[in-house]
Copies of this chain bind each other. A is one copy, B any other.
Amino acid sequence: MSRIIPNISVDCVIFGFDFNQLNVLLVERKLIDEKSNKVLIDDWTLTGYHILEEEDFDTAAARILKKMSGLDNIYLEQFYAFGGVKRVNSPKDMLWLQNQSEGFSERIVTVGYFSLIDNTSVTLSLKERNVKWFPISNLPTMGFDHREILEKALERLRAKLRSEPIGFELLPEKFTITQLQRLYEEVLGTTLDRRNFRKKVLQMKYVIPLDEKQKGVKHKPAQLFIFSREVYEKTKTERFDFSI
């Protein structure tokens, strides 16, 4: 059996959009004193753990995510390695690591992975530890430096959403501009001007208006659109790309 590496871990920041808000997947870190029944620790962390001796980072991230949450076949992208000297700092962090009794080092570096999924389309299977989605706007107390790792991942996610079409595929195949705007507002954490948004979207050749409107809504039905990745790939240009 392959042993864990005491000083190297991976942490997965799984963002989930549910058509309404942006969420992140967290795992409960709970420690109860057996004698007194006193709760010593009860907070939350990212889905992460130590890598094994015979395992690369990508494999470790997928294995650990699956083990902790049941999520499988999620596209995970490495985004940053965290090597701060004081990553494990608080008495709670120390206590937790001592209690795991797996021989962890005092200084652990971690490699961060992130993903953005439609979290209404997946089911979490609860394992030994409680795992659930939290809205980004209402996060619980988090252990270690996981809040910082989450912030860095969110920064990367936002930069990516601003420059690549990573949002469209989280919406229904046929979507309204309002649904798309909701996604951008939630991920970017801001409100956007409705008219400007609409104008920009209508200029995108890869967002194709249909001769079809919403059905079964109480309000005035809105026009539906589809996103074409093919058209996007064929028409995109980089600002300084002279080679195409």
Binding site for B on A (CB under 8 A): 5, 7-8, 51, 53-57, 60, 78, 80-81, 83-85, 107, 109, 111, 161-165, 167, 181, 184, 188, 190, 192, 196-197, 200, 236, 238-243
Contact = CB atoms under 8 A, between A and B. Distances in A.
Contact of A8 (B8, B161, B181, B241): B8
A165 B240 contact: yes
A151 to B, nearest CB: 16
Given A81-B111, A192-B242, 18 more contacts: A5-B107, A7-B8, A8-B8, A51-B83, A53-B107, A55-B85, A56-B83, A56-B84, A57-B81, A78-B81, A162-B240, A163-B239, A163-B240, A164-B239, A181-B242, A184-B240, A184-B243, A190-B243
Contact of A85 (B54, B107, B111, B163): B54
B7 A241 contact: no
Number of copies: 2
Contacts of A53: 107
B161 A240 contact: yes
Contacts of A163: 163, 238-241
Given A5-B7, A7-B5, A8-B109, A200 B242 contact: yes
Contacts of A56: 83-85
Contacts of A167: 240
Nearest to A10: B83
A55 to B, nearest CB: 7
Which of A53, A85, A161, A242 is most buried by chain B, counting CB atoms within 10 A of its CB? Answer: A242
Contacts of A240: 161-165, 167, 184
29 contacts: A5-B7, A7-B8, A8-B83, A8-B109, A54-B85, A55-B85, A56-B84, A57-B109, A60-B83, A78-B80, A78-B81, A83-B111, A162-B239, A162-B240, A163-B163, A163-B238, A163-B240, A163-B241, A164-B239, A164-B240, A165-B240, A167-B240, A181-B242, A184-B240, A184-B243, A188-B242, A188-B243, A196-B242, A236-B239
